[in-house]
Structure 1
Amino acid sequence: MDAVTVIGLVAGAGTTFAALPDLVTMLRRRSSRGMNPRMAAITGSFQILWVVYGAFIGSTSVVLWNVVAVVVNSLTVAAFLAFRRRERPRADAV
C-alpha cells in the first residue's frame, strides 16, 4: 500500500468518525440537551454527494468512508429526535 492510499484511509477514518463523540455523549446521557442536529444533517447531506462523487470516479475508499459517515450522522439525528420527543412536556401532563 502506497503512502497516498494510507493518507486517504486515515483522513477518511478521521472525518467519518468525527461525529461519533456527539452520538456517544447523547446516548450516554440519554438526552438531546445541548445537541443541535443541524450540523449532522447538513454534513450527512453533503456526504451523500461524496458517495455519488466517489462512485463516479470509481474510488472505493471515498464511497466506503462516506457511506459509514452518512450512517453515523443519520444515527445522530435519529437519536436527537427520539430523545427530544421524549423530553418535550406533553400538553396532557399539565
Structure 2
Amino acid sequence: MEGHEIIGFVAGFGTTFAAAPDLYAMLKRKSAQGMNPTMAGIMGVFQIAWLYYGVLIDSMPIIIWNIIAIAINSLTVGAFFHFARAENNG
C-alpha cells in the first residue's frame, strides 16, 4: 500500500464514522433531544454523490466507505424520527 492510499484509507475511515458518536449517544439515551436530522440528511445526500463518483471512477475504497457512511446516516435519521415520535406521543 502506497502513502497516498494510506492517507485515503485513514481519511475515509474518519469521515465515514464521524456521525457514529451522535447515533450512539441517541441510542444510549433513547432520545432525539439535541439531535438535528438535517445535518445527517445533507451528509447522506452528498455521500450518495460520492458513492456515484466512486462507481464512475471504479474506486472500491470510495464505494465501500460511502456505503457504510450512508448506512450510519440513515440509521441516525431513522433513530431521530423514531425517538422524536415516541417523545411527542409519550
TM-score by length of 2: 0.97
What displacement does 1:89 show?
3.9
Please give the residue correspondences for 1:52-91 in structure 2 after superposition, counting only pairs within 5 Å. Answer: 52-89=52-89
Distance, in Å, in 1 between the alignment partners of 2:18 and 2:46 is 15
Q: Which has the larger radius of gyration?
A: 1
Q: Supply the AA of the counterpart residue of 1:16.
A: T
Q: Which runs of 5+ in 1 are unaligned?
A: none
Partner of 1:13: 13
Partner of 2:30: 30
Partner of 1:42: 42
Distance, in Å, in 2 between the alignment partners of 1:51 and 1:89 is 37
Divergent runs of 4+, >4 A: none
Structure 1 vs Structure 2 CA RMSD: 0.9
Equivalent pairs, count? 90
Distance, in Å, in 1 between the alignment partners of 2:59 and 2:8 is 11
- 1:13-37 CA-to-partner distances (Å, cap 9, x unmatched) read 0000000000000000000001010
Distance, in Å, in 1 between the alignment partners of 2:86 and 2:32 is 9
Q: Secondary structure at the match of 1:88?
A: helix
Q: Supply the AA of the counterpart residue of 2:69.
A: A
Distance, in Å, in 2 between the alignment partners of 1:30 and 1:13 is 26
Q: Secondary structure at the match of 2:31?
A: coil
What displacement does 1:54 show?
0.4
TM-score by length of 1: 0.93
Distance, in Å, in 2 between the alignment partners of 1:36 and 1:4 is 34
